[in-house]
Amino acid sequence: MNMLERFRKNEYVSFPFYGLTRSRVHRKYYKFFEETSTWKEQEIMDWQLKKLRDIVQYAYQHVPFYRRFYSEYGINPFEINSFQDFEKIPCVDKTIVKNNAELFYSDEWKTIPCRVDYTGGSTGQPMKFLVDEEIYEREEAIYRFYWKKLGYEVGDKCIVLRGNKIYTDKNPKVYEYNRFWNYMYLDSFYLKAEYFDLYVEAISCFKADVIQAYPSSLMMLARLFDMKKIKAPAFKIIILGSENVDEQQIDYFKKVFSCERIYNQYGHSEKATLALQLLDGKALGVVPTYGYAEIVDDNDRVINSVDVAGEIVATGFSRSMPLIRYKTSDRAAWSTEEACGFMRDWKKFSCIEGRLQEFILTKTGRKVSICTVGGAHIAELENVIDMQYEQKMQGELIINVVVGERLSQEAHRRIEEKYELLFENEVICRVNEVEKLERTSRGKKIMLIQHCNLI
């Protein structure tokens, strides 16, 4: 029995259960998001200020860390009457939260329906935290609303390539069907030439018009189609998220998958802020009813100027473990790009520039973002399926690559020379061919493994 027959036998394309099982909370949030999608800027600001005031007061009354923290800094949580008052509250970072985790728990957390979750560890600091169950329901409702605007209705066929581990010796297949969502999950860890035929067969049998993917995983899939000279599926919509993506990658996806409608999303495991690409533009609209986002400079001063990069600071509305003015380690800048429809009065990120740890230290001590070199076109990399940077010593960089066919020594030399030019000859580069790259526990790509102390 071939794969297509198995799909038919098991009725993989039968009615999805998603629409029958949505909870009352989910329906409440979906209706709320429909209603708030018509809000003007002042309505958004009034609602956000009230939510910020409420969460600060709640944290002071119920969370040991904030009660002590605010007292030490002379913060009166009952005098938050403006966004400027809120900005006087000191920021907290991942190290502070990780080292004081249980002090961030609300004294009511056992009575609040919540989940224990973990960050993936892409920053080198995996962290345990709590999130209210309602936050997950709210997030799902927001995505459902947004995707519908893109032209994808939850329940339609969709391929998902986002860090799933499926293939085992006992279960030698690279896909897994989820009838609840009508998703076909593809294994992100076996995207190699020797397993590629399994992916091609699964994708061609399922015949989905939409794919959700980590950019790094989709790049590996696209590279394999390109290298094998096999015509790739023509997706109508590609939804990216959880990793940085550059214009060169977007253009490549458009070419390989014959798809013009590619959208990016920004979020994080802690669920304190969420941003979605504009329906008709490149900027990312910050969802105002999900959390509150700021951008700060190296001295934690708020940046309101356009196109000035800084660190994203997020405040979520989860009560089991509130994260207030939480430094995400992600960098971005504000944009004034205009939007239509429900995103018109949202604040917007012009781009997500990468994480603070994704900088390479040159011989002279200069910090260079990998985002400035990652999109460079180097012909010799066309046979590279995946790559990752690693820095163990200042002024030196290892470029780990997974290849379809081994590179010649001459190709190694040319790649190294071109990267050294990108770093203005302040970094010695070395290409290292490997079988696979290190990833987070969630299967996300770690673009740079940084062993040097950048502080």
Instruction: Classify each residue of 221-243 as buried b or exposed e, where b means 16 or more C-beta atoms within 10 Å of its C-beta.
Output: bbbbbbbeeeebbebbbbbbbbb
**pLDDT tens-place string over residues 58-104:** 999 999 999 999 999 999 999 999 999 999 999 999 889 988 999 99
Q: Give residue 125's pLDDT band: very low, low, confident or very high (50, 70, 90).
A: low
CATH 3.30.300.30 intervals, the chain: 359-450
Query: Between residues 127 and 270, which one has the greater pLDDT?
Result: 270
Task: Report d(CA 323, CA 320) in Å as an integer.
Answer: 10
Q: Give residue 1's pLDDT band: very low, low, confident or very high (50, 70, 90).
A: very low
CATH 3.40.50.12780 intervals, the chain: 1-353
Answer yes or no: pTM beyond 0.85.
no
pLDDT of amino acid 126: 64
Q: Give residue 11's pLDDT band: very low, low, confident or very high (50, 70, 90).
A: very low
- Beta strand 128-132 pairing with 114-118: antiparallel
Q: Rg of the Cα trace of the chain?
A: 23
- 3-class state of residue 353 by DSSP: strand
Instruction: Classify each residue of 358-375 as buried b or exposed e, where b means 16 or more C-beta atoms within 10 Å of its C-beta.
Output: bbbbbeeeeebbbbebbe
**pLDDT tens-place string over residues 225-244:** 998 999 999 999 999 988 88
pLDDT of amino acid 10: 46
CATH class, 1-353 region: alpha beta
- 3-class state of residue 83 by DSSP: helix
Query: Between residues 313 and 377, which one has the greater pLDDT?
Result: 313
CA 365 vs CA 85, 397, 398: distances in Å = 37, 14, 17
pLDDT surpassing 80 at residue 21 = no
pLDDT of amino acid 18: 53
Average pLDDT of the chain to the nearest whole number: 88
pLDDT surpassing 90 at residue 423 = no
Sign of the Cα pseudo-torsion (429, 216, 269, 247, in order): positive
CATH class, 359-450 region: alpha beta
pLDDT surpassing 70 at residue 13 = no
